[in-house]
Amino acid sequence: MIAGLRAGPAQTWGAVRLVPLLRDEPITDLRLHARLHGDELSIVELGPRESYIAYVPHAFVAGWTGDGTPAAAFGTQLVAPADKALPRVAGLRFHRRLARREDRNRLRFLPLHLAVEGFLDLQFGGPPIAWQEWTRAAVAHGLSPRVEEAYRGAAVQGLDDALRVFEVHPGQCGVVVYVADALASVFAVPHPDDYRALHATLLQDYYGELLYHYTQLYPAVPGFDVPVHDARVHTVDDLRAELARVRSEWEQFHNDVMFTVRALESRPVYRMGRFTLSRFLPPFDPAADNHIGETITADDGTVAYLKTFRLSAAQARRGFLLSRLAACDWSLDATAEALGTDRRGLVLRLDRAGFGYLLRPDILDACRAAARAGR
């Protein structure tokens, strides 16, 4: 259950199932609007010697009031194509920080990039102890550069049609996106007007490789029907009671599914009056779904904003291995023992996960040769 939100009736288009998130009481003293960018590659300066490079199609700007009075969301200005500058062959856009205060009550942040940067930053510093198995570069520079890939929502087959065709419900402040009945993402905003303005930005969000392939393999998903027990219906009041039961079961089902978005670590990023912008990491359980994400929560626990990204199985494995290495101070022997394997098995797992470049070549080559020889 997400505090302040409840699930509405689902709608299905092909492999895409959208479940609206409704608020009984919209949040009026915090509003979001989008600031559109171009198609240039963006460089976000995180610090003097650290940068984050990605495609950033838009930013969100949060405006709030300090006394609880209603806040107004800014509109988006449309510019005629003839007035736009000609696109460059290869351009760059620079941003200062992932979250940057622009005014006393306005904060610009990059949606999902906060969460992804938190995942990329996982054990980014590398080994804290200069164990002989790691390269000098790994000890000196850590995992730099660290790269992860994802698909834009526009590449997820059927998502654009679903967002265009499906009804936006009164009071809708968010949506749960399922692809082939796999939980893809959860998106929630403070106010219904914010959601209507940001509805189409789901096409510019990130989605994992698994979800992209699901739409290719599963062109349609079955409809789920909760039966109405006609034996219990004798009057209009009985029918109302049955419909209320059906709605309650549907809502509870989707709330239980959303509960799988579990946070291992939630880290505050910025304080905005009575609201806090945070990002979170999952438990990195290889046997479960793992979602990273970001939230804006009120002091009473109400979720004003939420956006999640489902990690692929390979990404979850990388997070799992990095977490276990960190817990064992990057000692190969201690980590192998904690994982129930030997040093060679751990080295090969690191190599398959894409971290082989951190290990000394002679150690990596010896483990590969032993594996080919069946020893």
Name the pairing type of β-strands 41-47 and 92-96: parallel
The whole-model pTM stands at 0.80
Give whole-number Cα distances, 61 to 30, 194, 242, in Å.
10, 11, 43
**Helix or strand run (H / E) with residue 120:** helix 113-120
Confidence at residue 363, expressed as pLDDT on a 0 to 100 scale: 93
Higher pLDDT, 44 or 142: 142
In this model, does residue 322 exceed pLDDT 60?
A: yes
159 closest CA partner among 306, 14, 293: 14
Measured CA to CA, the distance from residue 108 to residue 292 in angstroms comes to 20
Range in 245-254, 310-319, 360-369 with the lowest mean pLDDT: 245-254
pLDDT band at 96 (very low <50, low <70, confident <90, very high): low
Confidence at residue 73, expressed as pLDDT on a 0 to 100 scale: 54
First to last CA, the chain: 50
56 closest CA partner among 26, 82, 35: 35
Please give the share of the chain, as a percent, with pLDDT higher than 70. 82
The 3-state DSSP class for residue 248 equals helix
Name the residue ranges covered by the structural domains of the chain: 6-132+145-313, 331-370
pLDDT band at 77 (very low <50, low <70, confident <90, very high): very low
Tell me if 26 sits within 8 A of 190, measured CB to CB.
yes
Q: CB-based burial of residue 361 (10 Å sphere; 0-12 exposed, 13-18 middle, 19+ buried)? A: exposed
Instruction: Kindly list the strands in the beta sheet with 41-47, ordered across the sheet, starting from the edge strand earlier in the chain.
Output: 50-55, 41-47, 92-96
Confidence at residue 153, expressed as pLDDT on a 0 to 100 scale: 86
Tell me if 267 sits within 8 A of 280, measured CB to CB.
yes
Confidence at residue 351, expressed as pLDDT on a 0 to 100 scale: 95
Name the pairing type of β-strands 151-152 and 206-207: antiparallel
Q: What is the pLDDT of residues 23-65, one digit of tens each?
A: 989 998 999 888 776 666 666 666 666 776 776 777 888 888 8
In this model, does residue 284 exceed pLDDT 80?
A: yes
60 closest CA partner among 233, 246, 197: 197
Q: For the chain, give the number of residues.
A: 375
